[in-house]
Amino acid sequence: MPKKILIIEDNIDTRDLLHLHLTAEGFSVVVAADGREGLYMADAERPDLIVTDIDMPNLDGIELVKQLRAQTQFERLPILVLTSFGAEQMEEAILAGANRAVGKPAHFDSLIDDVNELLTESRRE
């Protein structure tokens, strides 16, 4: 059974590209257009990993990560944050509870490697 990844990204082009690349790698992919929808989808879909943007309407990625980590069922869920804001936002994402933060635009080969590493690490816990 393929691993399920939830993409939370407000930019439709980025969301579609992520969906395309992750699906091509054999993952089951579900999407949300903002942080609030992402929280709902995480609860409804129970993904194996979340890829989220930081700068989004309705609930930004930092607050999303904090709210997910506050829930027992998501304490260990791997979360990969994408940001175009640079090192300061990446550090803030990690402090909020993200497992990894990557700059945009993401190189898809590297992103796939990050996803696979995070999924492997989560199986060991």
pLDDT per position as a tens digit, 99-111? 999 987 777 888 8
pLDDT in the model for residue 86: 75
The percent of residues above 90 in pLDDT, for the chain, comes to: 78
User: CA angle, corner 7, sides to 4 and 11, nearest 5?
Assistant: 160
The H-or-E segment that residue 28 falls in is: strand 28-32
Domain ranges of the chain: 4-124
- pTM of the predicted model, to two decimals? 0.94
List helix spans (H) across the chain: 12-24, 35-45, 61-69, 87-96, 108-124
What is the torsional sign of CA 103, 1, 28, 26?
positive
Residue matched to tokens 């490697």: 113
Q: Identify the three-state secondary structure at position 83.
A: strand
CATH architecture for residues 4-124: 3-Layer(aba) Sandwich (3.40)
pLDDT per position as a tens digit, 24-64? 999 999 999 999 999 999 999 999 999 999 999 899 999 99
